[in-house]
Structure 1
């Protein structure tokens, strides 16, 4: 049975008179017809958001136990002051992973490398990307492709259904004669385009082979997203990766026109986490490792195709609709 994409609803603050309302019994909820998918979603989400708190507690308690174990035996009863001192000592001496590290660890099993093959593009942007890929591999900038399959472009994708359904940018795979994706465990598979959404530069891929333990990313509504919120971009800039860069949301509802002037995208998330060619199609995530959008463009006043601090992502609401699954 095909497992649907997973969505995480926006947090909702307490409503007026909500505290005074009686809590419905399970039988009453069933009678009201509360849909099962919402119940499943609500059960899944708190556990993931509690990951950071649980990790801190485990480390702190582990360190506290070690500290208390070293106390000389004397038959003295431990006091709350002893426990507080042990926890404080642990927090001062143990290095905990950053929020970005935890978020990247959550999303990494769902991020894939996307390579398109075919006739080599001759646009200035394509030539710049090729030079960047060569330099990233330690080759001369103008080195020719090896005989056989010619890499037309490299990008990123994110698994949204654990049956191998992948979201990426349309410009990464457009015109390709063959597409290959590489999963987190190194498994490589041919993929085919199953649908496209040109107005948002999105494409949906289906991988022919998938890892046994493939994990789909969780998607999060952008309804409560605000400028200043922390985000991270995960992908394969110039084929290097998976790479992680962090920053904040710089703005919302932005518009962007491609350098060639062929397309204008709207309702974009603007962010300042570093992104470069190859990040296209990768996830923009929050600090819970949930996908907020699909990285699709960087602003460049020149043809150098280097990051100047402004990137754009298609909100996940638009991206999910590309697979016929409006999430929110």
Structure 2
């Protein structure tokens, strides 16, 4: 009876039948002894004792260093000129959508602009809205400049701040000769922003300005234009007296803009919008508006002159 073939799991044959293997003694074999391959430390040590290889590596490193030095000498770093800087700035301006000067001015002054609502009483004694104007905060304790004609006939006044909060206000000062009124808000937002005032001494016709307000109650609305003239006089159809020394401007203004700030491109207040010139009684803008210089407006609030 044939036995099946058996395969040993050992990589090398075991002792033949009848042989005795002494523990600790290697089995005799005719195969040559296989030594382990040298590691990287052994190879590095052998290379270190090879002078040709050592000098070759040093020559290679020296050549690389000389090549780098030559590149720096032959091709020095380029120094930027003013022309390069101007070109970079022009490229940035033409490739990026930057806000206009008028937009930046409006953004700066807008937190200080308030809506002014005047109320009267109907026959039954209930509050009714008489009109809407504009005001500008000039002190963060709630001091607001506006036009006298905006609040003159009001029995109560409400101001709405830029953050949407509201407050009752009362008249704290008057300057009728310049159609100005100073309001004091009773409730003040924690982060109330006051406008920056600027002297009109260096203004000239052609200077760009922005008017912010609530024309016909819509707003805050922004319009831009230039100063058309200085030292003008104006008397409205409803006005009892002529107002002197006004700033003439052509930024669009309509009923509701009264009392709002006229600002420079830096967002600094140079005047308070007070009226528009229209030969008819349509009360719409034809291109000529007037503002009280901020020096007069500031004095109405008891602020020191510039």
* Structure 1 and Structure 2 fold alike (TM over 0.5): yes
| Structure 2: stretches of 5+ with no match in the other structure | 1-75
**Structure with a larger share of its residues in helix:** 1
Match of 1:268 among 230, 237, 246: 246
Task: Give 1:101's aligned residue.
Answer: 103
Q: 1:157 to 1:261 in 2, by over 3 A?
A: closer
Q: Is the 8 A contact 2:120 2:129 kept in 1?
A: yes
Structure 1 residue 257: deviation in Å? Answer: 1.1
Match of 2:91 among 84, 89, 92: 89
Q: 1:91 to 1:150 in 2, by over 3 A?
A: same
1:18-37 equivalences under 5 Å are none
Task: Give 2:164's aligned residue.
Answer: 186
Structure 1 residue 326: deviation in Å? Answer: 3.1
Structure 1 residue 210: deviation in Å? Answer: 1.4
Q: Is the 8 A contact 2:145 2:183 kept in 1?
A: yes
Task: Give 2:293's aligned residue.
Answer: 315
- Greater relative contact order (CA < 8 Å, ≥ 6 in sequence): 1
Task: Give 2:142's aligned residue.
Answer: 164
- Superposed CA offset, 1:12-65 (max 9, x none): xxxxxxxxxxxxxxxxxxxxxxxxxxxxxxxxxxxxxxxxxxxxxxxxxxxxxx
CA distance, structure 1, for counterparts of residue 241 and residue 120 of structure 2: 23
Q: Is the 8 A contact 1:269 1:312 kept in 2?
A: yes
Match of 1:221 among 193, 199, 210: 199
- Give the number of aligned pairs: 227
Task: Give 1:202's aligned residue.
Answer: 180
CA distance, structure 1, for counterparts of residue 232 and residue 226 of structure 2: 15
Structure 1 residue 263: deviation in Å? Answer: 1.6
CA distance, structure 2, for counterparts of residue 251 and residue 88 of structure 1: 34
Structure 1 residue 92: deviation in Å? Answer: 2.1
Task: Give 2:209's aligned residue.
Answer: 231
Q: Is the 8 A contact 1:119 1:152 kept in 2?
A: no
1:110-125 equivalences under 5 Å are 110-119=112-121
Task: Give 1:153's aligned residue.
Answer: 131
Aligned residue for 2:197, secondary structure, equals: strand
Q: 1:109 to 1:299 in 2, by over 3 A?
A: same
Is 2:151 the counterpart of 1:173? yes
Q: 1:86 to 1:266 in 2, by over 3 A?
A: closer
Structure 1 residue 78: deviation in Å? Answer: 7.8
CA distance, structure 2, for counterparts of residue 186 and residue 261 of structure 1: 32
Structure 1 residue 112: deviation in Å? Answer: 0.2
Structure 1 residue 216: deviation in Å? Answer: 0.7
Aligned residue for 2:252, secondary structure, equals: coil
Aligned residue for 2:296, secondary structure, equals: helix
Match of 2:270 among 288, 292, 299: 292
TM-score (norm 1): 0.66
Aligned residue for 2:286, secondary structure, equals: coil
| Structure 1: stretches of 5+ with no match in the other structure | 1-75, 121-146
Task: Give 1:80's aligned residue.
Answer: 80
Q: 1:192 to 1:88 in 2, by over 3 A?
A: same
CA distance, structure 1, for counterparts of residue 157 and residue 147 of structure 2: 13
Aligned residue for 1:218, secondary structure, equals: coil
TM-score (norm 2): 0.70
CA distance, structure 2, for counterparts of residue 316 and residue 269 of structure 1: 10
Task: Give 1:279's aligned residue.
Answer: 257
Task: Give 2:280's aligned residue.
Answer: 302
Task: Give 2:48's aligned residue.
Answer: none
Structure 1 residue 201: deviation in Å? Answer: 0.4
CA distance, structure 1, for counterparts of residue 180 and residue 84 of structure 2: 53
